[in-house]
Structure 1
Amino acid sequence: MHTLYTRVALTGSSGFVGSNLLSVLNTAGYMTLSFGRQTVSATRNFELDLRNRFDIQDTLCEVQCLIHCAARAHVMDETLDDPLAAYLQFNTESTLRLATQAAAAGVRRFIYLSSVKALGESTRIDEPFAYDSPLAPEDDYGISKARAEEGLREIAARTGMEVTIIRPPLVYGRGVKANFAAMMRLAGRNLPLPLASVRNKRSMVALDNLVDLIVTCVSHKDAGNQTFMVSDDADVSTPELLSAMTRAYGKSPRLLPCPPSALSLGARVLGKSVVAERLLGSLQVDIEHTKQVLGWTPRVKLEDVLKEMALDSVV
């Protein structure tokens, strides 16, 4: 194992990304500590509730690199009276408290799993977000991630601890839930859908590709104090995605033409404008900087992952 840091701590190790990342780290021979509210197997566990004023500085003295995956996830149908306050508490304030304690404990590198939402909600076709695009969040979740990034850069400048920021778009793979899982089920039923005329482009990242990049950022000497965009490096339109999902079930896609403007109008009437934006709009990221700095390329392809997911899902 050729690594820069071998003693690694991880938050969010029971989550979708974190659980898969932990498995890869352990298999690769890293000494891993897990921080969270749930105990996970095959590692040393320490309690950490990011909603509280925690102090884990003494424990962090054992590690060289801390990967921070835990977060309050983006919620489509938010019910809190003040969601921004909740996002800031969990995603911003706790992140900066954790980073401050890590720096004081002598942690050499802090890897932060941010989000493309720190840059905004959409792009023009073939005008992707890049690693140096300005922060311009449009919702509470994105604001919390952007402010965390700003604070982490200040901590890095003040303390000398390296900070690596990774901004994934939509992450998919076996075990994914929410909208992507719903789209898979819909594609498996192979109902005729009026989406054939949509001409958008969206970047996504397979879970295995994201995990591989994070591990690369632990081991690569040039990953410190860098911001990396990540994707499968193969953007797709909504009809292309749904067609690939349908083929993963061994079926022929049945998509019907309909003007996107009519779909958008219908969504507004039904109060589903946010859903329509994800189906009709574009959101692309440019990973050239990531590939050049790290010599990294995505390892798995969309079609192969969808076939694995189709085997797991119940239509």
Structure 2
Amino acid sequence: MNKVILTGSSGFIGQHLHESLLKNSSGVYSLSKEELSGTNKSISESDFFDTNTHENADTVIHLVGAAHSHYSDSEAHFINFELTKKVIKRAVSLNIKRFIFLSSANIYKESKNFIQVDSEVEANSLPNTMKSKLLAEQYIQHVAKNNDIEVVIIRSPLVYGENVKANFASLMRLVGKGLPLPFRLFNKNKRSLVSVYNLVDLIKECIDHPNAANQVFLASDDHDLSTAEMVALMAKVQGKPNLAIPVPVWCFKLAGKLLGKQAVIDRLTGSLQLDITHTKNTLNWSPPYSVEHGFNLAAKK
């Protein structure tokens, strides 16, 4: 396997990917988000990747990103767009052969139908964190057209697994208390998820697969779940009863509007299904791990 420069190595996905790459005896040079960005927004691309240390690397995997609402608009723009610009410029200057960028499936509008890789993206309706992700994608593709570097963009939905944090971990803990939860009627939606184990496997496949060059891929477990199904599986892997109770969805939507939490309710009740046919056919790849495998590991204390 090629020698890899990995950015975002201290993050949730980065830690899993770094460990997996080391098991494959791949040369891995790691940079955390803090090392890459720090507090100095005037950092130049020449400060990335010491030439003597990294000159024999073949691939950059760029995981550093800001996807959560706790980032200000300016922070998200700097991390998602400005840093990405500088990192790929440096990669070009070091004659890196391939640049893999982890983007987000949240650039698509939620839908009840399968989203395909070429589905329309409504840039004007995106929150600023996702606008900056889309800008980064467009810049990466521009660089690839004008330089001798192959790029791979992976658009990922929610990622879960051991040591996951944020909303998935909060819901897992809530279900683990064994209390009745009002999600039984949240059974009409379908959402794509991807375990960190399947995502890591896909990223590794893209490192040296010839067909991955200059492609955009969607990632998922290829097994979509409604919110009710997700809660039931969380209960199962934790050995807890699924005490879901039937509260009408409209009650939640009304409460969301009144409390200013409409975006949270929309994620619980909405659908975001990704069609990964293009990914599977192009790479001759399928997710190797089941959804239950990922939920079991995500439930580990």
TMscore range, shorter length: over 0.9
**Shift in Å, 1:191:** 1.7
Contact 1:11–1:67 (CA under 8 A) maintained in structure 2: yes
1:106 to 92, 95, 105: 95
**Shift in Å, 1:210:** 0.3
Contact 1:245–1:306 (CA under 8 A) maintained in structure 2: yes
Q: Which residue does 1:290 correspond to in 2?
A: 279
2:178 to 169, 178, 190: 190
Q: Which residue does 1:36 correspond to in 2?
A: 32
SS at match of 1:95: helix
2:195 to 198, 203, 206: 206
Q: Residues 252 and 263 of structure 1: is their aligned pair in 2 closer, same or farther, counting only changes over 3 Å?
A: same
Q: Which residue does 1:129 correspond to in 2?
A: 115
1:249-268 to structure 2, matched below 5 A, reads 249-268=238-257
Between the aligned partners of 1:117 and 1:297, the Cα distance in structure 2 is 22
One-letter amino acid matched to 1:209: N
Q: Which runs of 5 or more residues in structure 2 are unaligned?
A: none
Q: Residues 48 and 308 of structure 1: is their aligned pair in 2 closer, same or farther, counting only changes over 3 Å?
A: closer
Q: Which residue does 1:176 correspond to in 2?
A: 164
One-letter amino acid matched to 1:261: W
Q: Which residue does 1:302 correspond to in 2?
A: 291
Q: Which residue does 1:71 correspond to in 2?
A: 65
2:12 aligned with 1:12:
no
SS at match of 1:253: coil
Higher mean C-alpha displacement, 65-74 vs 290-299: 65-74
Contact 1:60–1:102 (CA under 8 A) maintained in structure 2: no
One-letter amino acid matched to 1:7: K
One-letter amino acid matched to 2:10: S
**Shift in Å, 1:49:** 2.2
Contact 1:12–1:68 (CA under 8 A) maintained in structure 2: yes
2:85 to 96, 104, 112: 96
TM, length-normalised to structure 1: 0.88
**Shift in Å, 1:250:** 1.3
TM, length-normalised to structure 2: 0.92
**Shift in Å, 1:61:** 2.7
More helix by share: 2
**Shift in Å, 1:173:** 0.4
Q: Which residue does 1:246 correspond to in 2?
A: 235
**Shift in Å, 1:27:** 0.8
Q: Which residue does 2:261 correspond to in 1?
A: 272
Q: Which residue does 1:165 correspond to in 2?
A: 153
Q: Which residue does 2:76 correspond to in 1?
A: 87
One-letter amino acid matched to 1:9: I
Contact 1:60–1:107 (CA under 8 A) maintained in structure 2: no
Q: Residues 99-145 of structure 1, C-alpha deviation per residue, up to 9 Å, x if partnerless?
A: 1111121000000001012223x11x2x1222112332411111010
Between the aligned partners of 2:217 and 2:22, the Cα distance in structure 1 is 24
1:50-61 to structure 2, matched below 5 A, reads 51-54=41-44, 55=46, 56=48, 58=51, 59-61=53-55
Q: Which residue does 1:43 correspond to in 2?
A: none
Contact 1:201–1:238 (CA under 8 A) maintained in structure 2: yes
Q: Which residue does 1:143 correspond to in 2?
A: 131
Contact 1:117–1:141 (CA under 8 A) maintained in structure 2: no
What number of residue pairs does the alignment pair up? 292
Higher mean C-alpha displacement, 137-146 vs 286-295: 137-146
Q: Which runs of 5 or more residues in structure 1 are unaligned?
A: 39-46
Q: Which residue does 1:42 correspond to in 2?
A: none
Between the aligned partners of 1:258 and 1:290, the Cα distance in structure 2 is 38
**Shift in Å, 1:60:** 4.2
Q: Which residue does 1:231 correspond to in 2?
A: 220
Please give the root-mean-square deviation of Cα atoms over the aligned residues, in Å. Answer: 1.6
Q: Residues 204-240 of structure 1, C-alpha deviation per residue, up to 9 Å, x if partnerless?
A: 0001000000000002111110000000000000000
Higher mean C-alpha displacement, 198-207 vs 52-61: 52-61
Between the aligned partners of 1:251 and 1:73, the Cα distance in structure 2 is 31
**Shift in Å, 1:270:** 2.1
